[in-house]
């Protein structure tokens, strides 16, 4: 397995990939494509870049996608590519949230792997249907929970797994942003846009948009699954229809608890995702805005700051790093690592990776989180189970 | 009013003060005495430094207290000093928690001002009785919630009050320590000691010991009072009788909410008190372990780090600072500022200070916090009112 | 002009590029290729990846270079590609230092653009010869002084140019690494390798290897040129043949002074490049290991931390940023920005970019720095002129 | 020996002390008196607080000094106190620099210990005369180089001495301030005042004012003495008569080198004293503005941040700390530790302290630094010896 992005003499041939969404005006698709390029594992060869045909054609041309593989609909793409001997091995779904379900479904039905931006879908029913489809078809499904692609997030998970902080006792995760702090009327259609429109964003605002990332990170790093929660979803900016400041208390199947705080209305915070795992003998902390280091505290000891790329990283963690210590990596590399994971999984379906790439289960758990949290919050924070059946 | 500790040509004559507790082995009393000296406002002239007579005499001699003002009991001290023309104007109560009530009561009954270490007392009934006594007697009562004596905590309060971050929307406060992370049996009698013994520490562990500080800080900086809470008090170290990891959700009378997380079982954290107040246009953050600065964030602006002593501090905040910017102050100065506040209050009883010194109401609120939090936690985090009658 | 790497719908067709060096075992070539991919501006189509033919063929095959464009010698590559209608527009030279000169020369003589890793060459004579050749041929020449590709380095330059810190008064730059702190005999042939061998590395060790980067950064950010220096080159690890700890005092043509400290023998430092420019009213500081922010200080004001991607960046600086504020970029992006600059320069030769890409002059200045510093250091730090003729 | 300021039951009786200077308007005297109080070791009982009699009387009255021990001249004080059985054991000299010499001399001639603010005197001749006088009389002499009183500075010295970073290889020290960044005409008489007037401040500006602190710190922490230097003293603010930006290269008698950079014209810097000692296996760094921690780096290891008060401090370092880890100490404590050192030295003249308190030799070395640096700077940075005869 080759994770180091830069060991490019060993990456093997590039896998063909398609894209659904991502025409001009798409905010995140260019970053996905940059990560695809950086990964050195994929070649973008097909797509439906927009529901508007001219936009789709413009994007495809700019991206070097042959005109005959720039399709009018996702169904066209799925069927035609499935029929090609050199057809795409997967398609990225980077449309607005409410269009994810249909795109994923038709891709899966045609046996084409899916790499879906989060959140997966807007309702638990849709999530369950995709899970049934996956069970039937065995098609590959990846979710771009980008933050679990950071090397030092993986190092943190590995350190926790190896007992470096003793037994896990508590998990704190926060995700603080400012971009919805302004009044809805001051945010342009684009800036606030569909993310604050319940019809398009789904039943939650901040919880679905960033709370799911924080939740995924808490499970990824701690290595345990949440099985109960108590939520308090609130709106602190007047005139907003969806939650923008959420507190969720968590209980994990491994017996410890946690606390999640997510807000998108905190001026002075850009992409402030931070996790702290407290163990019986130590604690470990990671911040997305300074992603190259872990802060490790141990009872009575000097605080330690471990830097990505240092030789003292765990054997598993070391496989995830690219540049030498001291030469910063960032978000593009984290996303590229996920795309490398996805390529690995498709090329060697049965193999067990050092770090589990996020997939349909993680996507469904994000949807379930929102579903359960809404019910808990509307009943004064009652503790409700989060069904873990899908983890089997 | 003179707050700058070092403007010592203007401090006026020192007020006589007594001390209850603080003999050899007392952990915090020496810091109180260092703060008394640093303040330049008080002279320690009387005391009952220990219930053990020989220890009390040893301490008094070492501290320069005349033998005839080193008393056998608090009652003796209260009566004798009350009878002197140059008697003490107040007494510091620095005994273990469960002895606070009796000492405070007898001092108040004799008209002697009280400066009590927190928590005030162990039960709400006792707190209410002291409040009644105070209402009857009008005697001075100060609580050493040290953290609200830090200049930059006061600057934060002032900035919030002046609208520097717009309207307050949310308050987050955390208090993370490691000193009870070890198993109870590994903590010596002294280290874990009476603080983890319900008979002596009171009905809560971490919540009473440090959660009350965090709570007081949240009210002090935000300028509002909590009137509802939902608590989840847990114990994460096996074999401990009291809570050591607490989450308390807060609702303030001014309409906003808050979140408090306190733990004393977090390896790698020493005295990690941190508060972040989020407003509609900005946020402000303060950390006790780096107390000389405020981090101020504003929507879309560069983060600002304001340093104690800079000329751009608010007019009110600037009165609280001693050393020039860049020459660190710390905990001793914060406590000395409280002792200066108390001296001011005693010398000019009717005057309204720039910053309210913590008193009996704040002490009683800490006791009420514990009382209500226990009831909430034992009913699955139900939201319960925190009575604010005492604020009138 | 399109600098934002991710605006990939506007990048235009990819330019063909070749590579000299970069076979298996090359340390930095994979990062160059990752940056080429990330930039979206170039396609690697030709090369001489090793002087050992089998290695070269292996690398070319892995990188998707057609066998008939994988050449035996640089001369072959230069001539054949120059003769093709769709030949390469430039070649990256990433060989060991002592092979740069011959490769650059033959490429230039055949009219092929050069993108050369630093240091340019090992002697001033060679540098001057390349400069003469460039003047004759007009061929493009870029130097990968990566650090001036960081968006916030460019923002710093722009802020300085716009007078945000008043008039420049002093420049401090340090470059601290640990990787040569160990004794030479403990560093494997590879680790210490040719960089500490005077025959291959050139006449200086640390000064040429990292001091030149620091020097380039000082000139880039301050916008002025050094015209006098006083150097003290020392070796602090026993048994090393070349300097590993250097102090160079600088005088700039704009009238201010500076100080450069570079060492590769400082345990606990990985890639610690840091610059501070002090002006009459403010100062600005940037650290390579936290490259996403500038720390800006102004007389009597709160310190400001400006983050890459914030809307308050200068208009020029904003063009250099890719990901949204809060999503970290790093070294790969900085190098990709240089490769974008080089593509721009080749596509629109006469145009004046917002930020000057480093070229032959900057490369020659690095060689001159070493030459003059050696002479200064061997005469007790005498102040010697640094010839600026090449800047005309 | 008792260093912990707060172990106040063991401090013993207070020593009588006098003060020369320090009347209303004195900037630093109140901090000295606060440190005297905080130390718990001294009682201020005599003084000449101003050359203006009424000011002196006002200050003495405010400070509780009996009128008959408030003297008209230093000579009066010295003679009268020397004649008393309970006379002062030392006098603090906190006058402007140019008055130090006469005050020190007459105190010493009368056998009264001196605690002198730095710089000692303005000329090497005066320094040598005081040294002769000290050798003749054996009178105690302390210098308030405050920064070597910080517990973590002492911990750093101890770690270096114990070999925690291997053999010392290089010392970097910087002292950056902003308060003289403004034009002289904008600085009021008071702010810029006598410190920029060569007649009163002495022959150097920044070098004498803060460079001497940095120099002292470099010698204190490294445990070695400078015996050669090359200086470049410059003025970067127009219209200033004295240096405000200085570079001094150092060679120590132990065989390693160092670099000192001091400026008082750097906007955005308050009291930015920082030292980094690089050893063969590790490095240690301390910053005055965050004085509670040491950053320790070791080759290939995670960076360590050691906090004051942690149990893992060295045995010697641990004796210097007062408050528990996590409760910040600062400048007042550092100065109080020096005053404790001075009390120890006077009470037990022959004993060898764990950490050497700064005295006449250190004062004289500061004067010599200025003298030699001026000569070096005026001869293009020639390397000149710094006489170490006084260290015998």
- Shortest Cα distance, chain D CAs vs residue A352, angstroms: 30
State the pLDDT at residue C87.
98
DSSP D119: S
CA D2 vs CA B59, B179, C143, D328, D345: distances in Å? 16, 26, 62, 20, 12
Cα distances from D380 to residues A159, C258, D312, in angstroms, run 55, 16, 47
Q: Is the pLDDT of residue C72 over 90?
A: yes
CA angle, B239 as apex, B235 and B244 as ends, to 5°?
25
- Considering only CA atoms, which of C280, C185, D31, A132 is closest in space to residue B4? D31
Mutation for testing the A interface, residue in B255, B268, B379 having most A CBs under 10 Å: B268
Q: Which residue of C has its CA nearest to A38?
A: C38
**D34-42: average pLDDT:** 96
- CA C368, CA B369: separation in Å to the nearest integer? 71
> Whole-angstrom Cα distance, residue B225 to residue B254?
7
Q: How confident is the model at residue B391 (pLDDT cuts 50, 70, 90)?
A: very low
pLDDT band at D332 (very low <50, low <70, confident <90, very high): very high
pLDDT digits (tens, 9 = 90+) for D266-310: 999 999 999 999 999 999 999 999 999 999 999 999 999 999 999
Residues in chain D within 8 Å Cβ distance of C266: 170, 278, 283, 297
Please answer yes or no on whether D325 and B290 come within 8 Å at the CB atom. no
Q: Do C307 and B307 touch (CB under 8 A)?
A: no
| pLDDT value at D374 more than 80 | yes
Checking if the pLDDT of C194 tops 80, the result is no
Give the C-alpha separation, C174 to C371, whole Å.
20
pTM here is 0.96
| Three-class DSSP category at C329 | coil
Residues C220 and A318: their CA atoms lie apart, in Å, by 35
- Listed by start position, the domains of chain B span 8-146, 150-323+360-385
| Residue B388: pLDDT over 80 | no
What is d(CA A34, CA B388) in angstroms, rounded to the nearest whole number? 57
Q: What is the pLDDT of residues C246-269, one digit of tens each?
A: 999 999 999 999 999 999 999 999
Q: Which residues pair with C267 in a beta bridge?
A: none
**How far A267 CA sits from the closest chain C CA (Å)?**
13
D389 confidence band (pLDDT: 50, 70, 90):
low
In contact, A5 and C36? CB cutoff 8 Å: no
CATH superfamily membership of D156-325+359-385: Dihydrodipicolinate Reductase; domain 2 (3.30.360.10)
Considering only CB atoms, A268 lies closest to which of B249, B268, B297, namely B297
Neighbours of chain C (3+ CB pairs under 8 A): A, B, D
On whether the C150-325+358-385 domain is CATH 3.30.360.10, my answer is yes
Q: Do B307 and C311 touch (CB under 8 A)?
A: no
Would the pLDDT of C219 be above 70? yes
Residues of chain A positioned with their CB less than 8 A from the CB of C326: 177, 269-272, 288-289
The per-residue pLDDT of chain D, averaged, comes to: 94
| Helices D124-137 + D100-109 axis angle, to 10 | 10
Q: How far apart are CA C336 and CA C320, in angstroms?
A: 11
Whether residue B301 and residue C310 make contact (CB cut-off 8 A), yes or no, is: yes
Chain A with chain C: Cβ pairs closer than 8 A = 125
Q: Mind listing the pLDDT tens digit for each residue in C302-337?
A: 999 999 999 999 999 999 999 999 999 999 999 999
What percent of chain C has a predicted confidence (pLDDT) above 90? 90
Mean pLDDT for the stretch of residues D356-370: 97
Beta pairing, strands D90-93 & D15-20: parallel
Q: Indicate the CATH number for domain C8-146.
A: 3.40.50.720
Distance (Å, rounded) from C-alpha B335 to C-alpha D333?
Answer: 14
Q: How much is the pLDDT for B195? A: 61
Digit-coded pLDDT (tens) for B66-94: 999 999 999 999 999 999 999 999 999 99
Comparing B1-5, B56-60, D40-44, the range with the smallest average pLDDT is: B1-5
Q: What is the mean pLDDT of residues C8-24?
A: 96
Sheet of A42-48: strand order equals A42-48, A15-20, A90-93, A113-116, A141-143
- CA B295 to chain C, closest CA, distance in angstroms equals 9
Of B304, B310, B312, the CB nearest to C304: B304
pLDDT for C291 beyond 80: yes
Alpha helices of chain A — where are they, by DSSP H?
Answer: 29-39, 53-62, 74-83, 100-109, 124-137, 151-161, 198-201, 206, 212-222, 315-318, 331-347, 360-377
- Which chain C residues are within 8 Å of D251, Cβ to Cβ? none
Q: Say how far apart CA B163 and CA A346 lie, in whole Å.
A: 56
Given a cut of 50, whether residue C1 has pLDDT beyond it is no
Lowest mean pLDDT among A260-274, B183-197, B292-306, C233-247: B183-197
Q: Which residue of C has its CA nearest to B302?
A: C306
CATH of A151-323+360-385, one of 3.30.930.10, 3.30.360.10, 1.10.10.10, 3.40.710.10: 3.30.360.10
Length of chain D as a residue count: 392
Q: Which ranges of chain A have pLDDT less than 70? A: 1-6, 188-198, 201, 388-392
Of B38, B288, B289, the CB nearest to D34: B38
Spatial separation of the C-alpha atoms in residues B211 and A389, rounded to whole Å: 38
The ipTM (two decimal places) reads 0.95
* SS3 assignment, position A201: helix
The CATH number that domain B150-323+360-385 falls under is 3.30.360.10
Instruction: Indicate the SS3 state at residue C46.
Output: strand
**DSSP class per residue in C288-318:** TTSTTEEEEEETTSPEEEEETT-TTS-HHHH
How far CA C173 is from CA of C216, C258, C260, C263, C265, in Å, comes to 10, 8, 5, 12, 17
Tokens of D179: 């308060």
Element (H, E) at C47: strand C42-48
pLDDT band at residue B183 using 50, 70 and 90 as cut-offs: confident
- Against chain B, the chains showing at least 3 CB pairs within 8 Å are A, C, D
Our measurement of the distance from residue B348's CA atom to the centroid of its chain's CA atoms, rounded to an integer in Å, reads 22
pLDDT in tens, D40-71: 999 999 999 999 999 999 999 999 999 999 99
């Amino acid at each position: 397995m080759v994770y180091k992005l830069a060991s490019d003499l060993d990456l093997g041939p590039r896998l063909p990939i398609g894209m659904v969404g991502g025409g001009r005006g798409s905010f995140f698709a260019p970053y996905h494509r940059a990560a695809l390029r950086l990964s050195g594992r994929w070649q973008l060869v097909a797509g439906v870049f927009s529901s508007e045909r001219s936009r789709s054609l413009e994007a495809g041309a700019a991206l070097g996608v042959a005109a005959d593989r720039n399709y009018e609909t996702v169904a066209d793409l799925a069927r035609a590519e499935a029929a090609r001997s050199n057809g795409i091995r997967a398609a990225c779904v980077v449309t607005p949230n409410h269009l994810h379900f249909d795109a994923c479904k038709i891709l899966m039905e045609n046996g084409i792997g899916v790499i879906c931006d989060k959140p997966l879908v807007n309702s638990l029913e849709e999530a369950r249907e995709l899970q049934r489809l996956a069970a039937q078809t065995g098609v590959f499904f990846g979710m771009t929970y980008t933050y679990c692609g950071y090397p030092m997030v993986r190092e943190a998970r590995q350190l926790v797994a190896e007992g470096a902080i003793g037994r896990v006792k508590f998990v704190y995760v926060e995700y603080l942003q400012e971009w919805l702090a302004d009044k809805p009327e001051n945010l342009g259609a684009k800036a606030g846009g569909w993310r604050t429109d319940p019809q398009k964003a789904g039943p939650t605002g901040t919880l679905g948009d960033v709370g799911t990332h924080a939740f995924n990170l808490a499970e990824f790093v701690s290595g345990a699954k949440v099985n109960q929660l108590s939520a308090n979803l609130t709106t602190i900016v007047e005139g907003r229809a969806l939650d923008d400041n959420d507190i969720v208390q968590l209980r994990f199947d491994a017996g410890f608890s946690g606390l999640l705080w997510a807000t998108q209305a905190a001026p002075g915070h850009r992409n402030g995702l931070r996790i702290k795992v407290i163990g019986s003998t130590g604690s470990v902390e990671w911040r997305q805005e300074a992603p190259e280091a872990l802060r490790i505290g141990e009872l009575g000891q000097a605080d330690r700051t471990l830097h990505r790329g240092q030789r003292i990283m765990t054997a598993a963690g070391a496989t995830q790093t690219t540049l030498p210590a001291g030469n910063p990596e960032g978000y593009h590399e984290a996303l590229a690592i996920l795309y490398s994971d996805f390529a690995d999984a498709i090329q060697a379906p049965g193999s067990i990776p050092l770090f589990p790439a996020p997939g349909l289960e993680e996507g469904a758990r994000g949807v379930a989180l929102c579903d359960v949290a809404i019910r808990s919050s509307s009943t004064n924070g009652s503790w409700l189970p989060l069904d873990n059946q899908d983890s089997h």
